Amino acid sequence: MGDGKIEDNPKILSGPVLTNSPNAVLSKTLLGRYKDLPLPADRVLATYIWIDGTGESLRCKDRTLNFIPKQAKDKLTRLLEKMNKKYQTQVLEKLKWSHVQEHLPPYYFPEDLENVFEVRCKLRERENRDSFDENLKDLPIWNFDGSSTGQSDGHNSDTFLVPRAMYKDPFRRGNHVLVMCDTFKHNMEPTETNHRLKCQEAYDKCKDEEPWFGIEQEYILLDADLRPFGWPPGGCPPPQGPYYCGVGANKVYARDLIDSHYRCCLYAGVPISGTNAEVMPSQWEFQVGPSVGVSAADDLWVARYILHRLAEEYGVIVTFDPKPVQDWNGSGAHTNFSTKKMREENGIIEIEKAIDKLSKVHMKHIKVYDPRGGKDNERRLTGLHETASINDFSAGVASRASSIRIPRAVAEEKKGYLEDRRPASNCDPYAVTNALMRTCILNE
């Protein structure tokens, strides 16, 4: 190791490397400093993120842009854009070098965008709607090999990535961006796990009702051996009780990871509203939102991505499986939902109407509340461990053993929101919010 050559270390080249292993220490000391290597100011790195054929795992790949995508631009850049060229140069000259690097004027419309516009227009025509976010206009459509992600067979494996939402990149910072995409087959049909399209369609139809979603994402940290992180070798920690919102090294594990995630999300533009330790040691929760319409699910997926990425560095694995350990609480993705009317005076009447509608299509919702048509939730919604049985619909004020809970404060104020406790932690929030909008607002 002394000469610092990675190629000479066989360990580095073999097998998966976890960042808390000696290899990781090596990689941090040897490679860490290259993270600060300045990049040319007119090169922006974009990480395109998408949901693969499992409907629950994320994939990503990076590309260089030779322009700064609109939405991620700093305030200063926007200001500079409005000024005339001569004045711009003067201002830039006065800035310190570090600032200049971050805030150079953008380079729009590179040549390679021309083809992309064609594809996009085709897409627009087909859907006959205007859902493409103007802010993303300058992010190119991209593609990947769908046969390697369970999203196409080998023949026509080019699968398209359409940028839908953009976030600041907390890992690379500067002008670099994370881009949440949805996926289309070679013929521009949506892939089987693209639930975003339907969700956007539902939201477009009920925009005026202003649907808000706040999702509580529970998850569990695993060690490299796939056992819960920090659990004693070969055994279990003392029974559940002291861990929920716990404090102390024997109650909670990896708080620094959780705190980093919180900060990274806020930096990126994901509206995290809170976080807490959960009932099982190494189980945690963060809450996203309230976010409006389809953006709630964009936000949650990007929050999941950031968590997986940070956990790579930390050397632990994040599992969203709804019941990894028998006889302990499972993980859910409680989805809090409101419309404008529910939030107004006496909105409780609207909330009760929505609950009534939900009671009539219980199984229909259960089918889309996990990626396996309800199979995953069968292990979690047992009627025990703060859940209601998967087979019965129930609703109640402040009841954690119901399918739907009306929070105590909502019942008292007679307005607010309802909490759907059924979605599994590995649900696709596009599918969940889509179902809620269609049942409660669109009466489908």
Task: Pick out residues in 156-185 that bind ligand ADP (CB under 6 A).
Answer: none
- Segments in 272-346 forming alpha helices (H): 295-314, 340-343
Q: In terms of CB distance, is 141 or 288 closer to ligand ADP?
A: 288
The CB-of-350 to ligand ADP minimum distance in angstroms stands at: 12
285 binds Mn ion (CB under 5 A): yes
Q: Which is nearer to ligand ADP, 193 or 336 (CB)?
A: 336
Q: Which is nearer to ligand ADP, 185 or 421 (CB)?
A: 421
- Binding residues for Mn ion, rule CB under 5 A, total 3
Smallest gap from residue 348 Cβ to ligand ADP (A): 13
Backbone angles phi, psi at 7, to 5 degrees: -60, -25
Could you tell which of ligand ADP, Mn ion, none binds residue 70, using a CB distance below 5 to 8 A set by kind? none
Give the x/- contact pattern for ligand ADP in 40-79, rule: CB under 6 A: ----------------------------------------
For residue 419, the minimal CB distance to Mn ion (Å) is 5
When CB distances are held under 5 to 8 angstroms depending on the partner's kind, the choice from Mn ion, ligand ADP, none that residue 417 binds is ligand ADP
Tokens 């050559």 label which residue? Answer: 5
Site for ligand ADP in 256-275 (CB under 6 A): 273-274
- Sign of the Cα pseudo-torsion (75, 161, 17, 426, in order): positive
Q: Which is nearer to Mn ion, 56 or 216 (CB)?
A: 216
CB 68 within 8 A of CB 44: yes
Tokens 């085709």 — which residue?
A: 122
Q: Which residues contact 301 (CB under 8 A, 6 or more apart)?
A: 49, 51, 58, 180, 429
Q: Give the end-to-end CA distance of the chain in Å, rounded to a whole number.
A: 64
How many helices and strands in the chain, by DSSP H and E?
Answer: 15, 13
Q: Cα torsion for 297, 303, 306, 311, to the nearest 10°? A: -120
How many C-beta neighbours within 10 Å does residue 114 have? 10
Burial level of 176, CB count in 10 A (0-12/13-18/19+)? Answer: buried
Told to check if 59 binds Mn ion by CB under 5 A, we report: no
**Shorter beta-carbon distance to Mn ion: residue 47 or 403:** 403
Nearer to Mn ion, 138 or 216 (CB): 216
Binding of ligand ADP by 417 (CB under 6 A): yes
Q: Which residue is nearest to Mn ion (CB)?
A: 334
**338 in contact with ligand ADP (CB under 6 A):** yes
The reply on whether position 216 binds Mn ion by CB under 5 A is yes
How many residues belong to the site for ligand ADP (CB under 6 A)? 17
Which of 56, 278, 419, 420 lies at the binding interface for ligand ADP (CB under 6 A)?
419
How far apart CA 329 and CA 345 sit, in angstroms, is: 36
Encoding tokens for residue 198? 């339907």
**In the complex, minimum distance from the CB of residue 274 to Mn ion, in angstroms, rounded to a whole number:** 8
Binding flag, residue 336, ligand ADP (CB under 6 A): yes
Could you tell me which of 6, 11, 75, 24 has the C-alpha nearest to residue 314?
24
- Per-residue burial over 61-88, b if 16 or more Cβ lie within 10 Å, else e, is eeeebebbbbbbbeeebeebeeeeeeee
Task: Please give the residues from 75 up to 134 whose contact with Mn ion meets the rule CB under 5 A.
Answer: none
Cα separation, 318 vs 308, in Å, equals: 6
Between 132 and 244, CB nearer to Mn ion: 244
Interface region with ligand ADP, contact rule CB under 6 A, candidates 55-63, 95-103, 212-220, 370-378: 212-220
Nearby residues of 371 by Cβ (< 8 Å), 6 or more positions away: 54, 55, 56, 193, 426, 427, 428
Residue 154: helix, strand or coil by DSSP? Answer: coil
Task: Name the token pair of 438.
Answer: 């269609």
Is residue 347 within the footprint of ligand ADP (CB under 6 A)? Answer: no
Neighbouring C-beta atoms of residue 397, cutoff 10 Å: 12
Q: Work out which of 140, 163, 416, 423 binds ligand ADP, going by CB under 6 A.
A: 416
Which residues in 327-356 contact Mn ion (CB under 5 A)? 334
Q: Which is nearer to ligand ADP, 194 or 433 (CB)?
A: 433
Is 214 one of the binding residues for ligand ADP (CB under 6 A)? Answer: yes
Q: Which residue, 217 or 426, has its beta carbon nearer to ligand ADP? A: 217
Distance CA 341, CA 351 (A): 9
Residues that bind ligand ADP (CB under 6 A): 212-214, 216, 273-274, 287, 289-290, 334, 336-338, 343, 416-417, 419
Residues that bind Mn ion (CB under 5 A): 216, 285, 334
